Chains A and B, each alone.
Chain A
Amino acid sequence: MKRKIRVLVAKPGLDGHDRGAKVVARSLRDAGFEVIYTGIRQTPAMIAEAALQEDVDVVGLSVLSGAHMALVPKVKEALVAQGMDDVLVLVGGIIPNEDVPALNAIGVKGIFGPGTATQEIVDFIHKELAEPAA
C-alpha cells in the first residue's frame, strides 16, 4: 500500500483563533493527507509528544498571537530532544518578514502568511517530502 503522508496541525500558545488552522487542516485532508488535529492551547511539549506518537512527517503550527518567536523555537527544541529533527516544520499565521530568517535558521522550512493559497502549502509539502530518485 502507498505510504500516507501524516501531518500534525497544532496551535501552540494562548490565542484561540483556530479558523485558519481548521481551514488548512481541511485542505490538507482534501489533498489526501492524514491530518491529526490537536486543537488550541497546546504547549510545545504536548505538540512534540503528539508528533511522536502519531509518527507524523510534518508538523504545522498556527500562531496568530505574535508569540511565534517564543513558541516555535521551543516546539522545534522539543522535537529535536525526541530525536525528531527530521520532521518538516511549517508555520502559518501572522509572521513579520523580519522574523523569517531567524525561523529559517532554526530549521523551519516553510512560512505561510495570510492569503496563502492552501494549494501552495500542499505543493510545498509534496516537494519537501519527495523521496530522492533512486
Chain B
Amino acid sequence: MAPAQYNTVAGLVAGLESGNRRALARIISHIENNSELAQPLLAALYPRAGQAHIIGITGAPGTGKSTLVNALAGLYRQQDISVGIIAVDPTSPFSGGALLGDRVRMRDLAGDAGVFIRSMATRGSLGGLAQATADVIMVLDAAGFQRIIIETVGVGQSEVEIASTAYTTVVVEAPGLGDEVQAIKAGVLEIADIFAVNKADREGADRTAMALQMMLHLGAPDRQQTMHHGRMLPVSLPPDIAPDRQWTPPIFKTIATQKQGIEALLAGIEDHNRYLAESGTRQWRQYLRAATELRMILRDALLERVLQQLGEEAISETVQAVAQRRLDPYSAVRQLLEAYHHRINTA
C-alpha cells in the first residue's frame, strides 16, 4: 500500500501543500471511496479552494469532447496556466466496472507537471456523481490548479448536474449526429454558456451552427433554468442584472483533431470568466452552488440516519408492502418517518 504518511489527513494535506502528486492522487481516491478520511480531508482542504475557474465540457458521445479538452488544455499550458482535468465515464450497471478511455486522446499532455488528469467512473452511489465530482473539483482547486476542466458524457440527469457545478459550461455539438432539432432540444440550450460545433470540416457543420444561432436569436430566457432533483431551479443570472448585460452564448466552430478554432474557443471561455466576475454572476452562482450542495449533503445525511435508525428489515417490509400495493409510497414514507421520530424520542 501507499507510504505511511499518506494514510493520515495531516500527511496527505502536507503532501498536497508541497505539490506532491501522489498525495493528490491518494486524496482523490479517499474521496471517491468515501473512506474514513474523506470528510476530514474535505474539511481541511475547503478553505484552500475557491481560486480556480471551473469549466464543464459536455455533449453527446462521439462529438469529440476528449480531443477538445486535450487541445484546450494544451493551449492553456502554452500560456503557463495549470490545468486539472476530470474525465467522467459511465460505470457499467451490470458489472459495476468501468472502462475509462479518455486518456487515449489526451496523450499530448503527458509529462507536464502543470497538468493532472483523473478519470472517474459514475459508480452510481447514493448522493450521486454530482457530489463526488464536486468534491474532486474542490481537491484539484485546493491543489492550486488554475483551470479545472471537467468532461462528462452529455446524456442524462447527473451530467446536467455536473455541468451546473461548473462556472462556464461548454456544450459540444457535431454535425451528422441527427437532425438540427436534436441539437436544440430542451436542456442543452439552458445549460450552455458557450457552444462548440466540433468536427467543423464535416458536411452539415454550418447547418448545425445556424440552427443553434436561430434558437439563440429567439431570445435568451429571462432566467436560465436547470432541472435539479426533478425541480426546476434558476441558475446563473442574478435577479437584478440589466437585460443589456446578459450573456448570449457564443458559437465557435472547431476541429479539435487539427487544433483549429481552439484559440477562439479559449478566448470565449475567458471572456465568460471575466463576464462572471464583472456582472456579479459568479457570486450568484457560488451562492446557488453552495445552496444546492448543502441541500444534497443534508438530504443524504438525513436519509442515512433514518435508514440506520429503522434498520434493514423494517425498510424492506415496507418496500414489500408498497410493491404489493398494500400501501402507497407516500403513506409508507409517513409511517417510516413516524417510526423514526418515535425511535429517537424514546431512545
Which residues of A pack against B, CB within 8 Å?
1, 3-4, 6, 25-26, 28-39, 42-43, 45-46, 49-50, 52-55, 82-84, 86
Beyond A1-B34, A38-B104, A46-B107, whether A54 also contacts B95 by CB under 8 A is no
Distance of A133 from chain B, by nearest CB (Å): 16
For residue B323, CB closer than 8 A to chain A, the reply is: no
Of B26, B35, B94, B96, which one neighbours A55 at CB under 8 angstroms? B26
For residue B98, CB closer than 8 A to chain A, the reply is: yes
Which 6 A/B pairs are nearest by Cβ-Cβ distance?
A39-B104, A29-B97, A55-B25, A46-B110, A29-B99, A32-B97
A31-B97, A35-B99, A55-B28 given; name 9 further pairs at CB < 8 Å.
A29-B97, A32-B95, A34-B97, A35-B100, A36-B119, A46-B111, A49-B111, A52-B21, A53-B21
**What are some 20 contacts across the A-B interface (CB < 8 A)?**
A4-B96, A26-B99, A29-B95, A29-B98, A30-B92, A30-B94, A30-B95, A32-B95, A35-B99, A36-B101, A36-B103, A36-B119, A38-B107, A39-B107, A49-B111, A50-B103, A50-B110, A50-B117, A53-B117, A86-B1
For residue B123, CB closer than 8 A to chain A, the reply is: yes
B residues near A36, Cβ cutoff 8 Å? 100-101, 103, 119
The reply to whether B33 and A1 contact each other, CB–CB distance below 8 Å, is yes
B residues near A84, Cβ cutoff 8 Å? 22
The reply to whether B98 and A3 contact each other, CB–CB distance below 8 Å, is no
Q: By DSSP majority rule, is chain A's interface helix, strand, loop, or mixed?
A: mixed
A residues near B28, Cβ cutoff 8 Å? 55
The reply to whether B110 and A37 contact each other, CB–CB distance below 8 Å, is no
B84-119 residues with Cβ-Cβ distance < 8 A to A are 91-92, 94-101, 103-104, 107, 110-111, 116-119
A62 to B322, CA, bound (A): 51
Q: Which of A4, A28, A55, A84 has the most CB of B within 10 A?
A: A55
A28 to B96, CA, bound (A): 11
A residues near B103, Cβ cutoff 8 Å? 36-39, 50
For residue B47, CB closer than 8 A to chain A, the reply is: no
A residues near B3, Cβ cutoff 8 Å? 83
A residues near B288, Cβ cutoff 8 Å? none
Distance of B148 from chain A, by nearest CB (Å): 14
B residues near A30, Cβ cutoff 8 Å? 92, 94-95, 97
